[in-house]
Amino acid sequence: MTRSRNSFTLSYVLGRLTVNLPPQDGNPESSLALKSEVRKLLAALQPGYLLLVGVDNLKSINIRDGRNFGDAVLEDVTRVMADETDHKQQVHRANGDFFALNLPDFTVEQVRGFFGRVQERLAGQCTISGGAVPYTRYHVADENILLQYAETALECSKRQGKNLLTFFTPESYEKKLRELELREDLQSSIETGFRGFEAYLQPQFRTENLSLYGAEVLLRYGSPRLGSVSMNEVIPVLEQSGLICPVGLWVLREALRLCRRWRETFPEFHISVNMSYRQLEQASIAEDVLDLVNSSGVPGSALTIEITESMELVDYPQLNQLFCRWRRYGIQISVDDFGTGYSSLGRLNDMEIDEIKIDRCFVTNVQNSAYNYRLLNNILDLADTSSVRTCCEGVDTVEELHVLRELRCSLVQGYLFAKP
């Protein structure tokens, strides 16, 4: 069975973070052989580098091209890496989608050159990310620590856009430790009734007459150890750990509760809630959402679920089935951060959506940017032709609002009206 990197067991030992590598699929000796090899190199104070190489988007490759193709890609990665060392070094299958290779006596430039040649030979089949750490620079005596350092560097490459090589730094490791602390605090908060989580509302207004349309729910979190933590830091940890699923349902429950209260004063009040691809993958998500809506006293037509354009929407038919089911109950679907990801409006026409939210980078200072003005005008015209509602985010000045009213954007939200 293929294991993900989340299957690594992390534990504090003598105040340091260590990693226990799971055995390679079908070859329990692989991780032991890798550890033994690294241990000998450390004992000998050998110059050089430990390199981890991961195949980017392997799950998507398996879905798109089939698991047999994915397995063939992994075999090719092994072969190419071995070829580039003239078969002098063993390539270890460290986990389901990444490999480990010792490069004794290599310099930084030689590691970069090696990685670049492997990238070039695999171009057209897949992209790879790499993480490297020197044997001697950080005075590491434990092979587990060095492996963790290398994995930290690999994770940095994955998060910075993939298809690149990152060398370990102590700063990245400190960041990893902070993430571990944050994950522990998040888990504890969930287990104690979502203590530390708060749901805030940012209002949305109809552009034509500035009447209140509804609000987007924005999540905030206060950690008992780290204090107030930026959601740019919290959300990736929630998604990587899978904790986004229970937190996401809590946010939806809170959103519907707030919506019901606001509809007592504004009967047509709408609420928008973000949902990650990790949540959409859950087998029970369709029923979970409908159960919460049905028990809330709020009609489905008052709820808009926002998905992010930049997420890897690899299975359009399955998503459309999910969206169609929700839309039968009146729930609307919005694509958030439009213009920053992989989609175009033409491609989105293949999906069952009701709204696009245009990212603030196209709105900021639009009155002084002829390029952004033309781009916004084209997007809004196409959306109108497709009967798709538009909402512009990040409206912070009166001048920006004037332009958006001129271009006939449907809804606006931003600091000009209210902070969350």
For residue range 16-72, list pLDDT tens digits in order.
Answer: 333 333 333 435 567 788 999 999 999 999 999 999 999 999 988 888 889 899 899
Q: Is the pLDDT of residue 3 over 50?
A: no
- Residues with Cβ within 8 Å of 171's Cβ and at least 6 positions away in sequence, in order, are none
- Per-residue pLDDT, 190: 97
Evaluated on CA atoms 201, 202, 204, 209, the torsion sign reads positive
Domains in the chain: ranges and CATH = 5-168 (3.30.70.270), 180-412 (3.20.20.450)
pLDDT of residue 352: 77
Tell me what pLDDT residue 14 has.
Answer: 25
pTM: 0.70
Mean pLDDT of the chain: 87
Q: Say what the pLDDT of residue 339 is.
A: 66
Q: How confident is the model at residue 255 (pLDDT cuts 50, 70, 90)?
A: very high
Amino acid 315: pLDDT:
58
pLDDT at site 346: 58
Q: What is the DSSP letter of 90?
A: P
**What b-and-e string marks burial along 260-288, b requiring 16 or more CB atoms within 10 Å of the CB?**
eebbeeeeebbbbbbbbbbbbeeeebeeb
For residue 10, pLDDT beyond 50: no
On the question of pLDDT at 113 being above 50, the answer is yes
The alpha-helical segments, DSSP class H, found in 349-397 are: 370-385
Whether 91 has a pLDDT exceeding 60, the answer reads yes
> pLDDT higher for 370 or 5?
370
d(CA 326, CA 275): 13
Query: Residue 114: is it exposed, middle or buried by C-beta count within 10 angstroms (0-12/13-18/19+)?
Result: buried
pLDDT tier for residue 348 given thresholds of 50, 70 and 90:
low
Query: What pLDDT is stored for residue 95 in this prediction?
Result: 73
Q: How far apart are CA 248 and CA 240, in angstroms?
A: 14
Indicate the pLDDT class of residue 110, thresholds 50, 70 and 90: very high
Comparing 22-26, 87-91, 411-415, the range with the smallest average pLDDT is 22-26
Torsion angle, CA of 403/406/410/416, rounded to 10 degrees? Answer: 30
pLDDT > 90 fraction of the chain, expressed in percent and rounded: 67
User: Above 90 in pLDDT, residue 253?
Assistant: yes
| Mean pLDDT, range 278-305, rounded to an integer | 96
The span from the CA of 154 to the CA of 213, in Å, is 44
| Matching residue, tokens 């509809």 | 263
The one-character DSSP state at 27 is B
Helix (H, G, I), strand (E, B) or coil at 24: strand
> What tokens were used for 210?
């500035």
Give the confidence band of 349 by pLDDT, cuts at 50, 70, 90: low
Contact in structure between 157 and 130 (CB atoms under 8 Å):
yes
